[in-house]
Amino acid sequence: MDELVDKVKQINDTYGNENTYFERIALVGCDATSVDPILTKNFAKAVYGDISTLRNAQITGRGGEINEDGTKTITDGNKKVYSWDETVQGNIKERTETVKSYSDYLKNPLNDSAAETTHPIEATPYQDALLENWKNWSDISKEQLDKIATESQTAKSKLFYYDHQIIIQSENDDNVKNTALDMFAKYPGQTTIVQMQKDGTYQTTQGTELRDITGKIKVSVVGFGRKGENGNHKLGGRSPDELKANIVGLNQGLNPRTTTIEHVDLVGCNTSSDNPTDNNDSNYGTKVLQKLWQIGVTTVGTESTHTAVDVGASNTEEGSWRRKDGIAKTVYSVNARGNIVSKVYSDEGVSHNTQTPNETRYKSNIIVQNSSDKDVVGAANALFEKHPDNSIIVKFGQNNRLVTLKGEAYIPTGDTRINLVGHGKNLTQEGAQALADKVKILHQSYGDNTNIKRIALVGCNTDSINNALAWDFARAVYSNTPMLKNAEITGRRGDFQVNTDGTKTMAKNGKKIILQWNHYLGRVVGETENARRVAKVLDGFKLGGPDAEELSENNKYIEGLPKTLTDQEVDVKNPIGSGTFKFAYSLKGNPNLAFIALRPEFKISELTGEIEFLKALDDLGIKTPKIYKQFSFVDDKTLRHGFIVERVKGAAHLLLVGKHAMRSTFVSDRALRMCNQRSLKDIRHLLKVFMNNPRLTVTDFQGMIGDDGQMYIMDPADVNGYDKNNPLPLDRNERASNLHNLQRTEANFLSYHKNFSNKFQEHIVYIDKEVWEANTALKEKMLKDSQESQNQIIVTYDALTGEKTVVHSLKPEYLEDFNAATIEVITKDGNILSEDASKSYTTFAKEQGWGVTDNAKFRSNTFEDHEFLNLRSNNKHKYNIILQLGNDEATKTDAQNLFAKHPKESVIVTRNAEGALVFPKDVAFTPDNSMRLNIVGCQDDFKQVGAKKLADYTNEITKHYDVNSLDNDAYLSRAALIGSDSKDLSKEYAERLYEISYLRGVEVTGREGNIQINKDGSKTMERNGKKIIHNWDFLTEKLIWEAKKAKNTGEVRKPLSAGAQHLAETTPHQDTLVQNWNTLSQEQIDKLAAESQKTKLSLANHNHQVLIQTESADNVQDSTFELAFKHPTQTTIVHMQKDGTYRIVHGPDLENITGKVKMVVVGYGREKNGVQTLGGRNESELSDNILTLKRDLNPANTTIGRTSLVGCNLESNNPTNNPDSQYGKQVI
């Protein structure tokens, strides 16, 4: 030991200087049995004790071999890493690190003897033994048991993308059992092993019981692959159908409300080339996915070469066993068209005992230098020089013109990577859409010769709690350029640099996020992985993220402070906040920081506890002010303790405490002025964190809102339930209070913002002149809304000069009593305005003679926030999922009408004949905000499905679209049963839904009375109809409900009830006298009169339309009325018998019509004996009717421009629904 330490000291004395530092000292090449944790730990203690300058270095030990290329392979999947503990002098910290390359078989072991290993390569014929006759798990060797115990205690990286894996041992064989056991050892805390007979009988032998598993599941089936006598492939003796039946049976043992199986791996261990997992021509994987797709499995993977499984490892290939270069694994998935496609992962870029065939997976690299900053230029050039022969550097000039800076002679071809290089802060400011536009230009420029496989955001913190740039960028790229949906998109979570050799290094705990488009789910999915290369100090080309410059300045300032602070550094005379235990002060030299100091009577332990709690919240994904460093502080000769934290700019206080204030959640007026869309997203994120951590409680729950609307949690007295390995008794009252007060805070925010769209109050809106002039659609919409409501004044302002211009005022009679209850300022950046700036807008209003109430509400927003907050505060939602329960035409039409109201933000989910949900496969639907689920059907559909199944459907839909996930801002806000008399069912549905804890924040609604969906997507209830609203009360942990009178009531002609009639059902034509036909109802007359008073869009290309109702059926009359409803002042409705006798029931007489006229004939289309008719008329009879009306028009003032034939039947042989019909041609 002493000799080793002396050698290290000599090396340090020789090479250690101001230009170098030692990052790691590794004991390499020792016998695996001698390099044990004790030896390495004692070596670390000796080095740290004797050589203090090496205390920043890490020390490791391992047993293994050195490969010819200098890389190392060891015999175990993990190694111990020791480091000096700065916080406790003399202490050594220990952690476990997963190695990159390991194998049971070493070619050149650095010891005296090489241990032989065996592998299951010889498959005997399959024997289907009963489980009771299988080799028992009690036969596991002590060595295996010790390994499992050790691995279970080891800090392990988590499964990527999945929450749990289930390994199915498919046959009674030692090799198969050992393979399953070795796979188990990699993630023992997230793995269950199941032994299963061919008939599906199974038993759990290791890990969590099936019913207790939650989240997204990966299933690995382990067994021998064989080829049967008939040439069909089998795995574990099972055909695809038999394997599907096994997995379906397993799925039934899981809790359907908390789990979904998303991926199945078929792990065959043979070397024979005709087994299903080792034969590229085998369609076994395809058949298995075809069978499993209907239960939600999205991908199936097959190992297609010899598989060696080692402890602590994923499935790898050993050097001595490798036998098929170029093929590693095949993954089957479902493409956008619903077809199964396969993707073969080759040897390129894959290490086998760390020997990589090629240095890069990409044939070409396109490097985008996104600014002229010296670090960005340096990083771009370093990336170029790493692969100078197949790289180019480009930049975007004026008008996004592409300019090549380096590598002009090279033309990118083949698999290509795009690196967008820039400071994270600048990339974020430029925005996801602008960056996606650049990618589209690159694809247009180079796409003919390249296959773009990866697009990397090369900058700091492009994915973090406060910045979702990577996700937004991915959504924008896949939407902008659908051809790139097979490309991966990467971002970084943490500080990051490009080194001079083109490699990349991240700060400690840094992570890479990898995003992809999932064709089956129709959305972006992602996974994170630890950074391969990390360092305490980044000294390369640092590509700082949002606020990186500020963080750097803060760190420099703190480094320059004395060890003990005084009033020279701390502004003790003007505390900025106080509490029971602490004061908050400004720091005189840095306005971005604050010093939190304990009161003199409290011990430092109070401080360390709070720091631990804040760190725990931060680890859970909850935003807290950044803690920099602990300091001592002398105030009037009294020693106090504290710490320096990030100062949240413009912070306003929120009291979210529980037991003593649970009925009086406090939100200050200032906080209400500052809350915006980001605040509401943050509250929903907090609710998600609580739902994903069912034992989490926070005592003295407090928050604050910054001037950008972001919400932070601060000053907790205690945090419990976050450590799953140390569960404490759950304080149900505290937890109920936490959730209840978050719910109340959200309600307070929404109530405040509802004032700004109140139809019974007056409003003044100021909007940045640039925003106003750049958006014609925005301008037209705001002017139209203001003209209709006559309660809003619009003023534009110049952000530079302050000049204000009134662009819309009110009629003089409305201005006399005008008294603004709200003032809103719409800005380009959405920054919160200061009190003084706010007063200037009130002053301007008063100078114009406009009244402003004493308690007028104020807010400032971007236009996007203005739209969202008005929508959300009126209980409306940005996204809509429509669940269509029935497949009858009436239900289809209702679902389509709801969809057409907001087509860009909606999607329709249907059911197949077996009742399984069918998701649209060719629709990009990636919600990122509040969402509503509309469940549409008639009473028979609702009765057949029932409350439990509706709750299961809701759970499946939210998981499919990644709603309520911590990685997504989307959340389900309301689930509405849109069907007549659904009051009782809605209560049962709510009760079932709230059994799923993460859905307890969803409002459930039903209806008391008949309801119909109108053609414009609006809904009408019968008079006295009511909406029933259910919510979960977190305080009492009970279901609560209320009934509200429906907003839109009137005559319901087509209720959503059992057997609702549709225009597709026709009876033989009845030619009755027009005087016996029903006229318009009084309600319809009133509606047309009301609509006539509104500003409506004019008819396109025509001055007037004549609607000809050709028969007396109610459905035909309703269709005619709905056509008139859109343009009531430009419409005449005519009732006409078959012989041409007619009467006018709405609109001007024919002789008084002027201009270009559109004739619209409405009736049933029929075919009888090969003759087609519309409204009972053949071509000649219909043309005679139209000529009759034409003769009564004034020929001097009118011309007929177009004739439309409107038939509503489903039958494919009616004249308006048959492309081969000559009816229209004959009429004309």
The pLDDT of 1113-1135, averaged and rounded, is 88
The pLDDT of 790-813, averaged and rounded, is 91
The pLDDT of 516-529, averaged and rounded, is 74
The pLDDT of 1077-1086, averaged and rounded, is 84
pLDDT of residue 153: 62
pLDDT value at 526 more than 50: yes
Q: Which residue has the higher pLDDT, 534 or 103?
A: 534
The pLDDT of 471-484, averaged and rounded, is 90
The pLDDT of 1139-1147, averaged and rounded, is 94
Percentage of residues of the chain with pLDDT beyond 70: 78
The pLDDT of 703-707, averaged and rounded, is 86
Q: Which CATH number does the domain 552-716 belong to among 1.10.3720.10, 3.30.200.20, 3.40.50.300, 3.40.50.1980?
A: 3.30.200.20
Percentage of residues of the chain with pLDDT beyond 90: 26
Stated as kind and residue range, the H or E segment containing 59 is strand 58-66
Q: Are strands 523-530 and 511-518 parallel, antiparallel or unpaired?
A: antiparallel
Extents of the domains making up the chain:
2-98, 131-345, 364-546, 552-716, 758-872, 877-1045, 1074-1227
Given pLDDT bands bounded at 50, 70 and 90, which one contains residue 118? very low
pLDDT value at 922 more than 90: no
pLDDT digits (tens, 9 = 90+) for 287-305: 777 777 666 676 777 764 3
Cα–Cα dist 473/492, whole Å? 13
pLDDT value at 738 more than 70: yes
Which class in CATH covers the domain with range 1074-1227?
alpha beta
pLDDT of residue 657: 55
Q: Does domain 364-546 have CATH number 3.40.50.11050?
A: yes
Given pLDDT bands bounded at 50, 70 and 90, which one contains residue 964? confident
CA angle 240, 121, 217 (to 5 degrees): 45
The pLDDT of 310-317, averaged and rounded, is 38
Given pLDDT bands bounded at 50, 70 and 90, which one contains residue 365? very high
> Where is average pLDDT lowest: 411-420, 529-538, 963-972?
529-538
pLDDT digits (tens, 9 = 90+) for 981-997: 899 999 999 999 998 88
Q: Which residue has the higher pLDDT, 1023 or 954?
A: 954
pLDDT of residue 465: 56
Question: In this structure, what token pair is assigned to residue 851?
Answer: 């009244």
Stated as kind and residue range, the H or E segment containing 515 is strand 511-518
CA angle 1076, 1077, 1082 (to 5 degrees): 120
Answer for the pair 876, 757: CB distance below 8 angstroms, yes or no. Answer: no
pLDDT of residue 570: 92
Cα–Cα dist 225/203, whole Å? 22
Per CATH, which fold does 877-1045 belong to?
Rossmann fold (3.40.50)
pLDDT value at 261 more than 90: no
pTM of the model: 0.52
pLDDT value at 1121 more than 70: yes
Question: If we measure between CA atoms, which residue out of 867, 760, 747 comes closest to residue 819?
Answer: 760
pLDDT of residue 38: 67
Question: If we measure between CA atoms, which residue out of 673, 1047, 643, 1029 comes closest to residue 824?
Answer: 673
pLDDT of residue 870: 87
Average pLDDT, the chain: 80
* CB contact set of 145 (below 8 Å; sequence gap of 6+): none
Q: Which CATH number does the domain 131-345 belong to among 3.90.228.20, 3.90.1150.10, 3.40.50.11050, 1.10.1040.10?
A: 3.40.50.11050
DSSP label of 125: P
Measured in residues, the chain has a length of 1228
pLDDT of residue 728: 66
Cα–Cα dist 560/252, whole Å? 63
Question: In this structure, what token pair is assigned to residue 255?
Answer: 């809790």
pLDDT of residue 305: 34
* CB contact set of 723 (below 8 Å; sequence gap of 6+): 616
Cα–Cα dist 905/714, whole Å? 36
The pLDDT of 1048-1056, averaged and rounded, is 72
The pLDDT of 325-351, averaged and rounded, is 48
pLDDT digits (tens, 9 = 90+) for 743-763: 888 888 999 999 999 888 999
Cα–Cα dist 655/742, whole Å? 10
Q: Which residue has the higher pLDDT, 1005 or 681?
A: 1005
Two domains, one topology: 552-716 and 1074-1227: no
Cα–Cα dist 216/988, whole Å? 27
pLDDT value at 865 more than 90: no
Report the DSSP beta bridge partners of residue 1039.
1032
The pLDDT of 312-321, averaged and rounded, is 35
Question: End-to-end distance of the chain based on CA atoms, in angstroms?
Answer: 104
pLDDT digits (tens, 9 = 90+) for 347-360: 443 333 333 333 45
The pLDDT of 1082-1105, averaged and rounded, is 83
> Where is average pLDDT lowest: 38-47, 615-624, 756-765, 1028-1037?
38-47
pLDDT of residue 1219: 67
* CB contact set of 1084 (below 8 Å; sequence gap of 6+): 1051, 1121
Cα–Cα dist 365/413, whole Å? 9
